[in-house]
Amino acid sequence: MTRHFCHWPGCPVEVPPKLWGCRRHWFMLPGEIRAWIWKTYRPGQEITKDPSVEYCEAAAAAQNWIAQNHAHKDASVAAAAIKSVHSQEVTERQGKLF
Ligand SMILES: [Zn+2]
């Protein structure tokens, strides 16, 4: 089996193939990119290895966003971003997404 890691650059956390990345980094992405990835995700794509073009575009958009917003910031900035996420909202979204 192929091991699958969080798509966040440099993140060593191993996640199930159906998830984009670890929970911490997933919730650091803007809501619209998370919605885009989720909308274009095809159940089973991690088995068939043929994610849709749209999913690849969404994943690329996520990488671009990370490069523009986080690539040159240190870990303390990332931690502050996580704290700013409203916990109630996270709970709600986790119910939907996981
Ligand atoms: Zn991660």
Q: How far is the CA of 92 from the centre of ligand 1 (A)?
A: 20
Span 16-23, average pLDDT: 92
Tell me which residue has tokens 């990345």: 21
Q: How does pLDDT run across 36-71, given as a tens digit for each residue?
A: 999 999 888 878 888 889 999 999 999 999 999 986
C-alpha of residue 84 to centroid of ligand 1, in Å: 17
Distance 78 CA to ligand 1 centre (A): 11
Which pLDDT score, from 0 to 100, does residue 75 have?
A: 55
| Digit-coded pLDDT (tens) for 81-92 | 555 544 445 555
Judge whether 80 and 55 are in contact, CB under 8 Å: no
Å from CA of 11 to ligand 1 middle = 5
Tokens of 51: 């994610």
The rounded Å distance from CA 5 to ligand 1 centre is 8
